[in-house]
Amino acid sequence: MIDPQFVPALGWIAPFAMMLLAIAALPLAAPKFWESNARKLGMSALLGLPVLVLYARSDPAALFHTGGDYLSFIILLGSLFVVSGGVLVTGDIEARPIVNTAFLAIGSVLASLIGTTGASVLLIRPLLSTNQERRHVVHTVVFFIFVVSNSGGCLTPLGDPPLFLGYLLGVPFTWTLRLLPHWLLVNGLLIAVYYFWDVRAHAREPVKALARDRAYIRPIQVSGKRNLALLLVVVAGVAGLHSPYREAVMLAVSAVSLAATPKAVREANRFTFHAIAEVAALFAGIFLTMLPALDILHARGASLGLTAPWHFFWATGFLSSFLDNAPTYLTFLAVAQSLGLPAQVVGVSHEVLAAISTGAVFMGANTYIGNGPNFMVRAIAEERGVRMPSFGGYMVYSGAVLIPCFVLVTFVFFR
């Protein structure tokens, strides 16, 4: 018999915890095993199967809804990946700190216009090509994830999935422009820190590497421009259509892009499906195993003692670091609505909604699994020969750079 008030026992968090542990540990403990996307999918299936059986018996509607969310999530990421992968930005300009900083600044704007996924896929390849002669590149990719794959996307509902879900729930389309001061502070700080970091890294580059970088200069050129129009179609479809028409348009646009883009363009772009396949395999397990964690949070959220905007900023942000930030956003929005706090938009105050929104978007950068583009950028960089940090190594960067930044955000906006 199906229990309409089904809430799993606390122990059902274990599969999700094991999923996170595997993502953190296996790249170090068993790197050869971890290279295979089929094995990653097998791990997701193994850990997700008990949760699948539990919810098939107790709450199949939640299972069906999560499956739909996962498909929408992967189709959105996949369509942006395919279409952006058909845009070839060639050239190799000198990888000076000011040039790399300009990449991040441009990406921070594009992230709110075409989404963090679209901006990430569009810019990560030319950024890597520009820096291919340099040896110290890891920090550049890490800051790219911080800014372009996450914090840049908070100005419009198209920027990041949590904000789009808020728009569907009734948040006015232009409401996110209220987050402009937050966007300016966080992205300004991160880009400034990156510039001085890269100045030091550039000074430590071997003389021969810098000589090659200065000697091998090619002007920037763009091929596959028709995919830019297709990218706008994807954005318009996401903004103006409901499911399943939205997903149908994204799939159709992806098919057109694959058929119409010259093979030479994708080959020159080193385009493969490995990165998106890795995201699909891992997030299948994440979406499934996080179901009990989210249900427990829904049931016990009112007992968490969340009342002030800064409570919601850090609570939403912490879970967005390890759960997908879209359902985390919805969870804490529901918690805020249930508390009877002063309501100005969708049942909560502007300050609380801003705290939930920025917590979900900004702190998705804290780990590789906080936001879909993070893993994708990491996979593309590793395909290009960049030795990216492990799960824990990446968190050393985020702990040292992002957490102090978020503490400042708390004092400025959410006291």
H helix intervals, 216-324: 226-240, 245-260, 263-268, 274-300, 309-320
Q: Let me know the angle formed at the C-alpha of 365 by 300 and 107, rounded to the nearest 5 degrees.
A: 140
CA 188 to chain centre: 19
**Long-range contacts, 196-199 (Cβ 8 Å, 24+):** 197/139, 197/143, 198/97, 198/100, 198/101, 198/139, 198/140, 199/97
Reported as type and span, the H/E element at residue 220 is: strand 218-223
Residuewise pLDDT in 10s, the chain (415 residues):
455 678 899 899 899 889 888 887 787 788 888 889 999 999 999 999 999 999 999 999 989 988 988 888 888 878 888 998 888 877 778 889 999 999 999 999 999 988 898 788 888 988 998 898 888 999 999 999 999 999 999 998 878 888 877 887 788 888 999 999 999 999 999 999 999 999 999 999 888 888 887 877 777 788 888 998 998 898 888 778 888 898 999 999 999 999 999 999 888 877 888 878 988 998 899 889 988 988 887 777 677 788 899 999 999 999 889 877 777 887 888 788 877 777 788 888 999 999 999 999 999 999 988 887 898 899 889 988 899 998 889 999 999 999 999 999 999 999 8
Reported as type and span, the H/E element at residue 125 is: helix 97-130
Is residue 216 classed as helix, strand or coil in its secondary structure? coil
Please report the pLDDT score of residue 319 as a whole number.
86
Please report the pLDDT score of residue 43 as a whole number.
94
10 Å CB burial of residue 370 (0-12, 13-18, 19+) is buried
The structure's pTM equals 0.78
> How crowded is residue 94: how many other Cβ atoms within 10 Å of its Cβ?
14
Sign of CA dihedral 100, 102, 108, 113: negative
Please report the pLDDT score of residue 262 as a whole number.
92
Please report the pLDDT score of residue 1 as a whole number.
47
Q: Give the residue from 159, 156, 150, 152 showing the smallest Cα distance to 368.
A: 150
Please report the pLDDT score of residue 48 as a whole number.
95
Please report the pLDDT score of residue 2 as a whole number.
54
In the numeric block, which tokens belong to residue 339? Answer: 């508390």
Please report the pLDDT score of residue 237 as a whole number.
86
* Residue 149 · residue 162 · CB < 8 Å: no
Q: State phi, psi for 285 to the nearest 5 degrees.
A: -70, -35
Cα end-to-end distance, the chain, whole Å: 47
Q: Give the residue from 278, 270, 241 showing the smallest Cα distance to 132.
A: 270
> How crowded is residue 153: how many other Cβ atoms within 10 Å of its Cβ?
36
* Residue 121 · residue 374 · CB < 8 Å: no
Between CA 6 and CA 62 the distance in angstroms is 10
Give me the torsion for CA of 73, 75, 77, 80, rounded to 10°.
-150
* Residue 319 · residue 286 · CB < 8 Å: no
